[in-house]
Amino acid sequence: MIESENKKHYLAIIGGSISGSEAAKVLADKGLRVVVFEMNNLPYGKIEDGLPCWHVGLRDKQEKNIDTKLDHENIRYVPKVQIGKDISFKELVEDWGFSAVILANGAWKDRPLPVENIEKFRGKELIYQNSLLYWFNHKHEPDFNGRIYEMEDGAVVVGGGLASLDVMKIGMIEIVQKALKEQKGIDIDMFEMEKKGISEILNDNNTSLEELGLEGMTLVYRREAKDMPLKAVKDSSPESKKKAEEVSEKLLKKYVDKYLFKFLPLHIPVDFIEHNCSLKGIVFQKVEINEGRVVPIDKFETLQTSQVISSIGSLPKKIEGLPYDRDWLKMKKDVNYMVEGFDNVFAVGNAVTGKGNIQESKIHGRKITEKIIEEQLIDTDLFEEWLKSFNEKVTDETRKETDSIENFIKNQSVQSEEVIKSILDKTKALHDKAGYTTYKEWISAKTPVRLENMLSKL
Ligand SMILES: Cc1cc2nc3c(=O)[nH]c(=O)nc-3n(C[C@H](O)[C@H](O)[C@H](O)COP(=O)(O)OP(=O)(O)OC[C@H]3O[C@@H](n4cnc5c(N)ncnc54)[C@H](O)[C@@H]3O)c2cc1C
């Protein structure tokens, strides 16, 4: 298709992060024009609000990468517009006149903790990972007005992926940092605590959890340490499997030794203890692994706690007007990036590929495991390795799918001048309302003050 014909097509993308920016760039490079609707100020999704803010280098690199893609003459970035709330999906698809709509809205709904009635404690004694990470990453900002949390000693985290290990680190850093300050007048910044680890920090200051009167936090996992997501094996031989399992166990032990949390494997949450309308404990049922399956047995353990953090993965937030098969978007059987029931609606990235808790692609997972096994990169930040690899996979898949979407556009009739003018007018009105001028100016004005910069000014 020649460029001038492409220019007659405007497409909409919902979400501007890893997958949205990649899809937008692929289409824009082919001469198509794209409007990227993003509900937040910044288009960085999980990188900005989910990746713990000590990953400064990785965050900055990935965000810059998104900027390079979105700052394109054929892309109109429209921030602060949530599809499904500010503009209904029906209106976007039926009234705006876009040649196609691509969903790249990720997975932002925490998978509910499967314990009956426990939701009544949500936001109080029950905290979900996405909300906790948002607070942790942004609480230092002078105009922060989100939900405020206080990590409690003795908190219990339910999870089992690498992200849940980051939750353990956040919790242990917060409680030890506070105790050192209040009891000893020692003020250590978060970056140093994360880098050195709790054990070394306590040794340096001749103290211990016990002396500070701290019990520490507990991570409860339904399987064993060896089953954690690094388990992906090099090949199908029993030796490779065993080796990968040993590495996973070793790595978890390293985390436990460095950040001093407790680990309770082979337990699932089944009930809670309540007193005066507050959560006071969680009842766990013991399980066995039978031919790879988690099988509950008749043994129970109660952990007394007034704080439970659920870190069992994220699901796409449902948008009214779209078809879902339980938690996931219903896709066409023959074209797995095309949404069922529409002929011009597509979905890419985590909106379709995320599978709840950390489930990296086998190939990429294997790559990381090989690297760890072969190079013994025990000290490497695993979460960074995992995320980089996962995002590469999301980007690769998005690129391939978007190429196919372009083929589909070729067969669509071009938009009239009137429709194009209406899209331009409507997006201009949204820009004016938000005070948006250019992509660069907007990003520079809206990027929040970074904790590392605040600390270096002290
Ligand atoms: C801490 C952490 C935990 C992770 N856990 C998992 C996991 O459990 N499972 C997994 O598969 N991957 C997980 N990942 C990987 C990561 O989510 C993906 O690799 C990457 O974020 C996917 O990019 P995306 O563009 O598809 O989604 P996202 O990065 O989530 O970006 C989606 C974008 O869409 C925007 N948006 C959402 N809804 C709307 C709307 N209605 N209107 C307008 N804009 C909207 C959002 O604001 C966001 O900018 C995790 C990453 C981190 C950092």
Give the pLDDT mean for 94-115. Answer: 94
Expressed in angstroms and rounded, the spacing between residue 286 Cα and the centre of ligand 1 is 32
Predicted pLDDT at 378: 43
Ligand 1 pocket, residue 40 CB under 6 Å: yes
Residue 231 has pLDDT above 90, yes or no: no
Ligand 1 pocket, residue 82 CB under 6 Å: yes
Residues 386 and 339 in one domain: yes
Measure CA 71 to chain center.
23
Residues 228 and 325 in one domain: no
Domain boundary among 312, 335, 360: 312
Closest CA to 128 of 282, 310, 305, 317: 310
Higher pLDDT, 86 or 248: 86
Expressed in angstroms and rounded, the spacing between residue 367 Cα and the centre of ligand 1 is 22
pLDDT band (50, 70, 90) for residue 360: very low
Ligand 1 pocket, residue 322 CB under 6 Å: no
Residue 107 has pLDDT above 60, yes or no: yes
Residue 83 has pLDDT above 80, yes or no: yes
Residues 70 and 139 in one domain: no
pLDDT band (50, 70, 90) for residue 234: low
Residue 371 has pLDDT above 60, yes or no: no
Distance CA 289, CA 222 (A): 9
Residue 356 has pLDDT above 60, yes or no: no
Domain boundary among 312, 338, 363: 312
Least confident of 201-205, 300-304, 351-355, 443-447: 351-355
Expressed in angstroms and rounded, the spacing between residue 429 Cα and the centre of ligand 1 is 27
pLDDT band (50, 70, 90) for residue 18: very high
- Per DSSP, which regions of 160-266 are E strands? 218-220, 262-264
pTM for the full model? 0.91
Predicted pLDDT at 369: 43
Give the pLDDT mean for 269-288. Answer: 98
Distance CA 30, CA 156 (A): 50
CATH code for the domain in which residue 395 is found: 3.40.50.720
Give residue 394's domain range: 3-108+315-456
Ligand 1 pocket, residue 387 CB under 6 Å: yes
Measured CA to CA in angstroms, residue 353 lies from 10, 88, 113, 350, 388 at distances of: 25, 24, 21, 5, 16
Residues 268 and 174 in one domain: yes
Instruction: Tell me the one-letter amino acid at 344.
Output: N
Distance CA 315, CA 107 (A): 5
Residues 246 and 284 in one domain: yes
CATH code for the domain in which residue 268 is found: 3.50.50.60
Predicted pLDDT at 246: 86
Residues 141 and 287 in one domain: yes
Instruction: Give nearest CA residue, ligand 1 atom 11.
Output: 354
Q: What percent of the chain clears pLDDT 70, i.e. is strictly above it?
A: 90
Residue 207 has pLDDT above 90, yes or no: yes
Predicted pLDDT at 230: 57
Predicted pLDDT at 221: 97
Residues 98 and 123 in one domain: no
Residue 1 has pLDDT above 60, yes or no: no
Expressed in angstroms and rounded, the spacing between residue 389 Cα and the centre of ligand 1 is 15
Q: Which of 18, 34, 46 to mutate to test the pocket of ligand 1 (most atoms within 8 A of CB)?
A: 46
Residue 358 has pLDDT above 50, yes or no: no
Residues 90 and 139 in one domain: no
Give yes or no for a contact between 345 and 196, defined as CB atoms under 8 angstroms apart: no
Ligand 1 pocket, residue 350 CB under 6 Å: yes
pLDDT band (50, 70, 90) for residue 458: low
Ligand 1 pocket, residue 17 CB under 6 Å: yes
Q: Which of 19, 62, 89, 105 to mutate to test the pocket of ligand 1 (most atoms within 8 A of CB)?
A: 105
Contacts of 192 (CB under 8 A, 6+ apart): 201
Ligand 1 pocket, residue 92 CB under 6 Å: no
Residues 363 and 336 in one domain: yes
Residue 135 has pLDDT above 60, yes or no: yes
The predicted-structure confidence for 19-39, as pLDDT tens digits, reads as follows 999 999 999 999 999 999 999
Predicted pLDDT at 6: 63
Instruction: Give nearest CA residue, ligand 1 atom 16.
Output: 46
Residues 251 and 223 in one domain: yes
Expressed in angstroms and rounded, the spacing between residue 279 Cα and the centre of ligand 1 is 30
The predicted-structure confidence for 149-181, as pLDDT tens digits, reads as follows 999 999 999 998 888 999 999 999 999 999 999
Q: Which of 13, 14, 17 to mutate to test the pocket of ligand 1 (most atoms within 8 A of CB)?
A: 17
Residues 300 and 322 in one domain: no
Domain boundary among 265, 297, 312: 312
Give the pLDDT mean for 123-136. Answer: 97
Residues 116 and 173 in one domain: yes
Neighbours of 279 (CB within 10 A): 19
How many domains are there within the chain?
2
Higher pLDDT, 360 or 211: 211
Closest CA to 160 of 259, 231, 214, 59: 231
Expressed in angstroms and rounded, the spacing between residue 18 Cα and the centre of ligand 1 is 8
Ligand 1 pocket, residue 349 CB under 6 Å: yes
Residue 361 has pLDDT above 80, yes or no: no
Q: What is the mean pLDDT of the chain?
A: 89
Contacts of 248 (CB under 8 A, 6+ apart): 225, 226, 227, 228, 230, 231
